[in-house]
Amino acid sequence: MSTPFYGSDYEALEQFDPEIAGILVDEVDRIRSGLQLIASENLSSPAVITALGSTLTNKYAEGYPGRRYYGGCSVVDRAESLAIERAKELFGADHANVQPHSGASANQAVYGAFMQPGDTILGMALPMGGHLTHGTKVSFSGKWFNAVHYGVDKQTEDIDYAEVERLAKEHKPKVILAGGSAIPRLIDFEFFRKLADEIGAIFWVDAAHFIGLVAGKAIPSPVPYADVVTFTTHKVLRGPRSGALVCKEEHAAKLDKAVFPMMQGGPQMHTIAAKAVNFKECASPEYAQYAKDVIANAQQLATSLGEKGIRPTTGGTDTHLSLHDLQGVGVTGAGAEARADAAGIVLNKNAIPFDPQKPNVASGIRVGTPSVTTQGMGVEQMKTIAELIHTAVTQGDGDPDSAISKQVRAGVDELCKQFPAYPRPA
């Protein structure tokens, strides 16, 4: 076992609870020994993780800075105020709320602020790249609200803007939502803004996946166009696993009340402090370069996989992720995920537009470059990774002891040795 990079009290934990201590070490080893290509994951910095493991976790702080329902909040008020001001500056926003526990919690607040049960929302269908909280039947959003969904154009596999306009004018939704979990291309925020104004709707952007690219000024920002932008802080943004939102000033009070007391109780002050650290990191020139590198790597990986017959939907990507159709190589998404995992490559099966397979099987995979870019890998390494993925997916059998898995694993090990995750102290 290797020594974790974090925690001066690790030895105390090891003595008190060796089972959990061992799990912490095993997870560090897992990260260090494989290629992490899950588009919704990243590697938070030791500074962020230090804030997460702080005594701020002890403090109950219902309310907002200067307006708490508990005493003793003067210190945590400073942490939250810093997080708010840094978020506003980073994204050029009128107002920020950093209390949502997750992206789903932030999304709940939007429903709570602007909609009543039974109201109509127009969002992207989950099988086309949307998200569970955008009105799917298994989610609160589909159970409590009337969800109308748009999809993608069959030819371009990008958002069908003509369908969006037709559905908006037909159903007159209270809220129009843009964003999702598997959208490789840039979104036309100006189109959505004009459409929302035309029908008198709120325009909401769920930027969970790409907000880090916005923070790094690598892609256009939705903030000038949207009434509210929700996001997670743990994807490209590279912060703690949590959520936040920014909005126009006119909606600030309504959204704050929807976060607390409508949807949540006490905020997690240690996580809010970690968000403040993360926002400071994201304001640096180094992060801006990182965001650009994430896109360059994603584009190269998509191109290289496409050259090997693993077709990128939409023909490529403008962001940190690409979605690939495996039908040309005769493998399902579930099969590809298992074969890659056996060789030390972590990615996920994913439905492609108009997928003939069930979601738990799928015909595609989704790959993202945030984590490997954090490790310092570049476009040349993406070519190697594409070769490793192709070999594992098309020749492997899911057995980690097979010759192909061992061959691919050797290539993975070499990359991890050259570009280690959480480098061990000298």
> What are the domain boundaries of the chain?
53-283, 290-418
To which residue do tokens 């070499």 refer?
414
In degrees rounded to 5, what are phi and psi of residue 15? -70, -40
pLDDT at position 426, please? 66
The architecture in CATH of the region 53-283 reads: 3-Layer(aba) Sandwich (3.40)
Q: Which two tokens stand for residue 68?
A: 């708490």
pLDDT grade for 1, boundaries at 50, 70 and 90: very low
Q: Percentage of the chain with pLDDT > 90? A: 96
List, for residues 220-230, the tens digit of each pLDDT value: 999 999 999 99
List, for residues 30-58, the tens digit of each pLDDT value: 999 999 999 999 999 999 999 999 999 99
Give me the catalytic one of 10, 14, 62, 248. 62
Give me the catalytic one of 59, 185, 193, 235. 235
pLDDT grade for 8, boundaries at 50, 70 and 90: low
pLDDT tops 50 at residue 348: yes
373 catalytically annotated:
no
Binding site annotation covers 167? no
DSSP secondary structure string, 62-93? Answer: -EETTEESSS--HHHHHHHHHHHHHHHHHHT-
Binding site annotation covers 209? no
pLDDT tops 50 at residue 198: yes
Q: Which helix (H) or strand (E) holds 372?
A: helix 370-374
Binding site annotation covers 126? yes
The architecture in CATH of the region 290-418 reads: Alpha-Beta Complex (3.90)
Spatial separation of the C-alpha atoms in residues 364 and 383, rounded to whole Å: 19
Residue 246 CB coordination number (10 Å) = 29
Mean pLDDT calculated for residue range 371-384: 98
235 catalytically annotated:
yes
Which residue type is seen at 426?
A: A
